[in-house]
Structure 1
Amino acid sequence: MSQQEIEEYLQFAIQLAQDAGAIIKAAVDSRMAGSGSNIELKKENPTDLVTETDKAVEEFIKARLFKTYPSHKFIGEETFASGEKTEFTQEPTWIVDPIDGTTNFIHGYPFVAVSIGFTLNKIPTIGVVFNPLLNELYSAAKGQGAYLNNTIKLPLFNPPQPLTDLSHCLIATEAGSDRSKLVIDAKIAAIHDMLRKKDEHHPFAAESHSIRTTGSAALNLCNVAKGVVDVYWEVGCWEWDVAAGMVIVAESGGLVLEGHSDKTETDTANIFCRKYLAIRAALDRESQLHIASQMKDLIPAIDAPRAPVPGGYKA
């Protein structure tokens, strides 16, 4: 595929994200005025939410995509949730989360995004993430760099600040929607180790600067690409949460690795792995891998099966 075609797809995705974002912004304004989308629970999990707007935005995106590129493939969160069969092939494929941060959307918390990823030959090639509530547009195409609002090259710090030790890092993570005791206890214990003061009894304690959560996997990845968050770790995301953000992080000079405690720090993440560890850009790859290694000393073994089960991820 030529660079001209890639640029065409990128500009299409940017416009599509902005148009979808306008629907989301109008729905948030409507909710704040006392009306708006009905809220549903998915899989009988009270933390796993979907609204009419999630479905409407995905249908809008899907219709525009198939009208413009009828031969392309589509994987979307709500399409998957409805039970429709999806298949990942070598063909040009759009991977979409209509609203990443549905809980935020419901509460009016301004970290909400439409996420549009594009793969070619199964390789993440284009990523666009748009937060219509803060009017922040993140975009990237393979080999072309990553940008904020089309003009600001990422990361924001140029050159990137040094990565020396996890104790100097700001870490992003999320609670996720699986609140089973086994999972939530493991996540809280990991956060405890990320924050706990180092001493002779706890050699792997990180004593990091702090923890941040946005409620959106896509925006957490974009914060890594910006360089305002040093590390992002999460278990339980789906491909539509991360497909676009992974391209944006990579094109900013960051790394996205498989966030498994039993994986080496050099295992590049597969978009379907459901366990992700992102490290921001740095002056050298060795320092990024050093931070990844420190994180993997703290990451617990948490199961995140591919099959949709109660407790599946939905921000």
Structure 2
Amino acid sequence: MTDKVDQYYDVALSLVKTCGNLISEHINGCKSFVLKSCDIDLVTEIDKKVEDTLVGGLSKAFPDHKFIGEESVADGTKGELTDSPTWIIDPVDGTMNFVHGFPHSSISVGLTINKEPVVGIIYNPILGQMFTAKKGQGAFLNETQIHVSQVKEFATALVTFEAGTSRDPERFKAVLENYKILVSKGHGVRTLGSAALNMAMVALGGADAYFEFGIHAWDVAAGTVLVREAGGVVIDPAGGPFDILSRRILSASTMELAEEISKNIVQFYPERD
């Protein structure tokens, strides 16, 4: 199985590097976009080109593999997670950043086998950050191995956190309450505008935790492998096992920190994918 995963990873990494050129050509922003679910949920032609390139290349190399992609799901394709090797793709995670030229956008590619994340690639081509991980083989930034911070207490934790694109009143209420909790109980709060990069920062040790309600599998599939291979934990925000289709996630440097955060934050349960 390891040899097969290595082969899958090598093909995906080559494609991700190629797609990075599409993003880095727009270092000052991409002003051509359309709206999806609301006026802050955006998609550009680059999103579609990157996803088409990744799915096309991986399909050619591995015809029996399955795919769940953000833009294909948005266009009406049903994303189903089975035991088959399944690529879970966010072509531009952080589209709002990409549109404005804020340099925190990434290509996020995760692979699940038997519904378990085993490969994660997160690439921010504008800043030249290539985060990679394979199950059992460690996590890396530009080929240098990385590790989580080992912070165990909420009071000394730097937490990444997102408002998200949903305008749901109940979710918005939970976001505001949790922001107050983070400011009052934590060491600091950061918002990168990309779930994948938030998780990459936890893996790197630059942030100590990240949680969000309302994300999708393509936002966190790659980051889950990265955080776990860097020595961190990924669980449900209420403290149970992580479910990649639940649209809920809490990742942290240590289980102690994850459990303390889960006991303090306000919970919200969006509709599952």
- Picking from 192, 195, 213, the partner of 2:183 is 195
**Equivalent position amino acid for 2:222 in 1:** A
Counterparts of 1:79 and 1:66, CA distance in 2: 14
1:162 and 1:50, CA in 2 relative to 1: closer, same or farther beyond 3 A?
closer
- The runs of 5 or more residues in structure 2 that have no matched partner are none
Q: Deviations over 1:138-161 (max 9, x none)?
A: 0011100011112x1011xxxx65
- Give 1:40's aligned residue: 34
Q: So what's the TM-score if we normalise by structure 2?
A: 0.95
Written as runs of structure 1 = structure 2, the 5 A alignment for 1:51-200 is: 51-150=44-143, 152-155=144-147, 161-196=149-184
Asked whether the 8 Å contact 1:194–1:298 carries over to 2, the reply is no
Q: Deviations over 1:19-73 (max 9, x none)?
A: 11111112x14x65xxx56211112x10111111111111111111111111111
- Give 1:249's aligned residue: 227
Deviating beyond 3 angstroms after TM superposition, the runs of 4 or more aligned structure 1 residues are none
- Give 1:211's aligned residue: 189
Counterparts of 1:162 and 1:241, CA distance in 2: 24
**Equivalent position amino acid for 1:273 in 2:** S
SS of residue in 2 equivalent to 1:46: coil
Asked whether the 8 Å contact 1:141–1:247 carries over to 2, the reply is yes
Q: Alpha carbon RMSD of aligned pairs, Å?
A: 1.5
Query: Which protein is bigger by CA-based radius of gyration?
Result: 1
Counterparts of 1:18 and 1:6, CA distance in 2: 18
- Picking from 249, 252, 264, the partner of 1:279 is 252
Q: CA deviation at 1:176?
A: 0.3
1:37 and 1:71, CA in 2 relative to 1: closer, same or farther beyond 3 A?
farther
- Picking from 263, 270, 273, the partner of 1:304 is 270
1:269 aligns with 2:257: no
SS of residue in 2 equivalent to 1:256: strand
Counterparts of 2:152 and 2:108, CA distance in 1: 31
Counterparts of 2:152 and 2:235, CA distance in 1: 18
Asked whether the 8 Å contact 1:233–1:277 carries over to 2, the reply is yes
- Give 2:17's aligned residue: 18
SS of residue in 2 equivalent to 1:60: helix
- Give 1:200's aligned residue: none
Counterparts of 1:162 and 1:14, CA distance in 2: 29
- Number of residue pairs the alignment of both structures matches: 273
Counterparts of 1:63 and 1:232, CA distance in 2: 32
**Equivalent position amino acid for 2:36 in 1:** K
Q: Deviations over 1:246-293 (max 9, x none)?
A: 001010000000113xxxx3x23121111100012xxxxxxx232222
Counterparts of 2:61 and 2:69, CA distance in 1: 17
Q: Deviations over 1:99-149 (max 9, x none)?
A: 000000000000000011111111111000100010100001110001111
Counterparts of 2:259 and 2:217, CA distance in 1: 24
Counterparts of 1:115 and 1:214, CA distance in 2: 15
1:70 and 1:164, CA in 2 relative to 1: closer, same or farther beyond 3 A?
closer
1:63 and 1:164, CA in 2 relative to 1: closer, same or farther beyond 3 A?
closer
**Equivalent position amino acid for 1:144 in 2:** Q
Q: CA deviation at 1:301?
A: 2.5
SS of residue in 1 equivalent to 2:24: helix
Q: So what's the TM-score if we normalise by structure 1?
A: 0.83
